[in-house]
Structure 1
């Protein structure tokens, strides 16, 4: 097994410098790297993708509101000015904590003095992993473009159905979202807008009344982590968009043709999963204690018990606030944790006292419910409607990595808001089976009257 040497001969680096390995270039990993800039440490970022992804806006890619390039940036360009930071495109498969080495999918190992694990989370199907094939979640650009393809293909097929197959056409334009948290609410609202407003401008045989969106939530209300009044407001906004919200909905099966909810089968053109996540296998790599979701139970400084030079941040870490409530798995929390760990490591390298225990600053919770509708919880202040949506938009644009992304997203959103048009309605990755079944022009149903 080979060992990777990350020294760059073009830079003034030395093996005597402490080596910090950061696994994952998400919000937490990049925040740690930035906090280590100027610390005198040699930093290596390992990620299986070459880009940093702004996951909170992935659903906008899935519903053709944004293109993938608008919410992603190459990792190398993000840290280009970090003289002692290098990027390695590889996947971590394990950690040898005793030898202080990271095992890589390429077969090599990477030695470290300090290790930061920021590997995020993946979808949880609660023991029904076979459902993933038919109800994809959205964690990567590939996931988002697959959902976008499924939704747009369903509209195309409905447009070309033969007139005698009208019941089948109804099946083609029924979409289901499983999970009533922020991701599910945002996805359902975005699909409703895409299909009922923008798509109506492009198609001639389907209208907004042909499209059905169903949001299934197992609990008694939407947005369970928000105050109840905001969950009620979100439900009302979704219903105004035409979304069929089904609370206390127990999903028992998901197939290529639809899903079974409370014993009744619902045929769908596309089903999207937004019901749960589980941590990466970091706890197993480190032989560390974990909670039920697989997150590592970390120390107050975010280090792993018994491994003071190994830190875990973001969705992979489980830590509580001062009031006993868990720190949420959201981007601001991951960034705060990454920044804290970077400062702890930098202080150790410099021989200074380390910062105190990690303390999460809660800046509030936001969720959008379609065009110009959102909910915002800032503790004593709660907002709904357009003011909340403006805050949501500003916050998300601010957290994008670079100025170009912020500018592009801002312009695209403004254009979409004013015109109802979306510039990313591209169907990519089509196979021959996807193209099959289109009806000839002579078999199309009559054009609907326009004007």
Structure 2
């Protein structure tokens, strides 16, 4: 039996692990060839953890499983009758992979709710590239401010706007303020980093809507104590080089906030292949692109195709790592049971809780009726994340880094690169690509 798993995230990883050593040929197709521990991505973006501490090559992960092959590529097309997927290599050439069972664990990407132009000014945070881009923008903002005299321009560089009040937005906002008040506090001469403003915008009435109201209130108080300015009940309606414009949901005048660093965590949507898959299979999907699946997580009419994790549209399954992990284990169990001549079992999601980090000594954890915050929540948060990190080396390294950060307020992984001024995909704020009005094609480029 040939099992093709699209995506090396939590769902794909746990499915392939469980099939290791089983009499099936497993292929894991991933566009980065690595597993990313996405819940800690914001700590990479703000200089606490390194890329290597939150990611691991899939080849290293599966080197002991001789029946598991990993391939670098992005799924772009499918022929369900021939049971064949077409993948694209980084150089735009393509290749095909045949399967008997297909597991789609491709995950979601950042959504700008139809305003894709916002992405140029407000990077999301879903990939390692995103984290490095954010790190570049955040730390360079302080460097830019250091070279400017007091005034509106400097203030713009020292203002950070975060769109989205979910766990990622809360974690990013809290980390930027903590970084400004602890890590960078004594490192500059012309500016006072602790004066940096962090603005958090969300359309709801409180942050962390998925958490119990009392935990959301505690998170609000913790953020405000840190100095994060909360703007709730608003929509971000425009993002450009100079800042964001918001519109109150209850009505009223739009407001513009000058901010040279805008970060977007406000929504997610299915990756292009998932939308293509739903169209080809004739499967129902919701507005975000989640594909309707049956009790066993397979697509109706295609029992050989499973959809797991964030993409699985069934019974309001949450878009969290635990859902993907459990889905991957469930599909692997279905495959093993079929090999043994046994029927599949329906998928049952077990809520293992939710957690969010705000700042040192401040985190939230909710597991069923158990709700903890503050230092106890912080310790529980740390233990939970260490338990699910891939690789023993990464676990020990991360614990050591956290202990060092607690003791000395340092962030050892703050290195960043500005990129090349002549490449649009490596732009930064003083290149021609960042100009409010792009120059004509025959205009000379700015000197580097």
* Unaligned ranges ≥5, structure 2: 248-253, 422-426, 432-448
**Among candidates 361, 384, 393, match of residue 382 of structure 2:** 393
Distance 2:102 2:196 in 1: 49
Distance 1:110 1:314 in 2: 22
Q: Compute the TM-score of the two structures, normalised by the length of structure 1.
A: 0.89
Does 2:340 correspond to 1:366?
no
C-alpha contact (below 8 Å) 1:32/1:342 kept by paired residues:
yes
> CA shift at 1:427, angstroms?
1.8
Counterparts of 1:45-444 in structure 2, within 5 Å, are 45-105=28-88, 106-161=93-148, 163=149, 165-262=150-247, 263-281=254-272, 282-285=274-277, 286-320=281-315, 326-354=316-344, 356-431=345-420
> CA shift at 1:39, angstroms?
2.2
Q: Which is bigger in relative contact order (C-alpha 8 A, separation at least 6)?
A: 1
Distance 1:398 1:150 in 2: 31
C-alpha contact (below 8 Å) 1:313/1:338 kept by paired residues:
yes
C-alpha contact (below 8 Å) 1:196/1:207 kept by paired residues:
no
Task: Look up the SS of the partner of 1:369 in the other structure.
Answer: strand
> CA shift at 1:135, angstroms?
0.7
C-alpha contact (below 8 Å) 1:283/1:289 kept by paired residues:
no
Distance 2:241 2:193 in 1: 24
Distance 2:127 2:275 in 1: 22
Deviations 1:139-187 (A, max 9, x none): 11110000000011110011111x3x53211111100100001111111
C-alpha contact (below 8 Å) 1:197/1:208 kept by paired residues:
no
Distance 2:285 2:265 in 1: 23
Coordinate RMSD, CA, aligned: 1.5
Deviations 1:395-428 (A, max 9, x none): 1111111001111111111111111110011121
Partner of 1:449: none
Distance 1:133 1:337 in 2: 34
> CA shift at 1:107, angstroms?
2.3
C-alpha contact (below 8 Å) 1:200/1:206 kept by paired residues:
no
Distance 1:45 1:431 in 2: 33
C-alpha contact (below 8 Å) 1:283/1:294 kept by paired residues:
yes
Deviations 1:267-324 (A, max 9, x none): 112111010001123242243211221101111100011000000111111121xxxx
Distance 1:413 1:179 in 2: 26
C-alpha contact (below 8 Å) 2:118/2:238 kept by paired residues:
yes
| Aligned residue pair count | 412
Task: Look up the SS of the partner of 2:52 in the other structure.
Answer: helix
Distance 1:375 1:310 in 2: 37
C-alpha contact (below 8 Å) 1:259/1:265 kept by paired residues:
yes
* Unaligned ranges ≥5, structure 1: 1-17, 321-325, 438-451
> CA shift at 1:436, angstroms?
6.4
> CA shift at 1:353, angstroms?
3.3
Distance 2:33 2:418 in 1: 20
Cα distance change, pair 175–48 in 1 and its aligned pair in 2 (3 A): same
> Following TM superposition, where does structure 1 have runs of at least 4 consecutive aligned residues deviating by more than 3 angstroms?
429-437
